[in-house]
Amino acid sequence: MSPDKSRQYAGRPVAERGDERRRRFLDSALDVFSRRGYSSSTVVDICREAGLSTRQFYQCFVDKEAVLSTLYDEANARVQKAVLSSFAAGSEGFAGSLRTAVRAYVDALTADPRVTHLVVTSVVGVSDEFEEKRDRQRQQWLDGLNGFAEAAMANGDLPRRDYTLAWIALVGAINALASAFIKAQPSSAALDKLLDQVDALLWDGLLG
């Protein structure tokens, strides 16, 4: 039987309180994973950070990996939304569109150092199941980038060839640069420098 979402506890809907606890666990886990690293963090650490009990934790999540998975999905959704919005805004030609999309990707990925750490560090080597999840996510990005390249080739903006390896190298390089960025002293000037490096890699190396 599904729970009665209209049921009240202490004057508030039970479902609302459950959603708030879930969010507290997620936000606390993001802090804990960033400070301690995923492998060195425990459910108890997350509960202590959230000020909630382990019993409440397991009412919301199966285990620590489920929390990481949810945070990873949320981070990817934010980055994808930023990139898609940059395309929707429109830029002149293939080069302008791609530069704008790359900036949107980097901006979204580095906006919160905790999220950058999670996406480029915490999720690596967690489990076979998580690696499959990461593979599926990478494939989504590759499918989108290859579709973008196909349209550019059809318009004569790119030479006709397979750009899959170029996209793999580009995304890997961006993530590595973003990781180095958050380990330094993040600033707008440092972010501009990072974007300059990405731009040089993109045009002088991969697509030049």
Give the residue-averaged pLDDT of 10-18: 65
Structural domain ending residue among the three candidates 61, 77, 95: 61
Same domain, 50 and 109: no
Domain of residue 19, residue span: 8-61
Tokens standing for residue 126 = 């967690």
Give the residue-averaged pLDDT of 118-134: 94
Q: Is the pLDDT of residue 144 over 80?
A: yes
Residue 3 belongs to a domain: no
CATH number at 20 reads 1.10.10.60
What percent of the chain is modeled with pLDDT above 70?
Answer: 87
Identify how many contiguous H helices and E strands the chain contains and give both numbers: 9, 2
Determine the 3-state secondary structure of 136 from DSSP: helix
The continuous run of DSSP H or E covering 13 comes out as strand 12-13
Same domain, 95 and 12: no
Which tens digit of pLDDT belongs to each residue from 95-105?
788 888 888 88
CATH number at 97 reads 1.10.357.10
Residue 18 belongs to a domain: yes
Which tens digit of pLDDT belongs to each residue from 55-87?
999 999 999 999 999 999 999 999 999 988 887
Same domain, 51 and 145: no
Determine whether 118 is exposed, middle or buried from the number of CB atoms within 10 Å of its CB (0-12, 13-18, 19+). buried
Same domain, 39 and 121: no
Same domain, 95 and 190: yes
Same domain, 99 and 161: yes
Same domain, 130 and 198: yes
Same domain, 122 and 110: yes
Give the residue-averaged pLDDT of 184-189: 67
Reported in sequence order, the residue ranges of the chain that DSSP labels E, i.e. its strands, are: 8-9, 12-13
Residue 1 belongs to a domain: no
| Cβ-based neighbours of 204, under 8 Å, separated by 6 or more | none
Residue 140 belongs to a domain: yes
Tokens standing for residue 169 = 């190298």
Residue 96 belongs to a domain: yes
Q: Is the pLDDT of residue 7 over 70?
A: no
Same domain, 15 and 93: no
| Per-residue confidence band for 197, with pLDDT thresholds at 50, 70 and 90 | confident
User: How far is the C-alpha of 69 from the C-alpha of 38, rounded, in Å?
Assistant: 12
Residue 2 belongs to a domain: no
Residue 122 belongs to a domain: yes
Q: How many domains does the chain have?
A: 2
Same domain, 123 and 35: no
Radius of gyration over alpha carbons of the chain, in Å? Answer: 20
Q: Is the pLDDT of residue 160 over 70?
A: yes
Question: Angle CA(155)–CA(106)–CA(165) in degrees, nearest 5?
Answer: 50
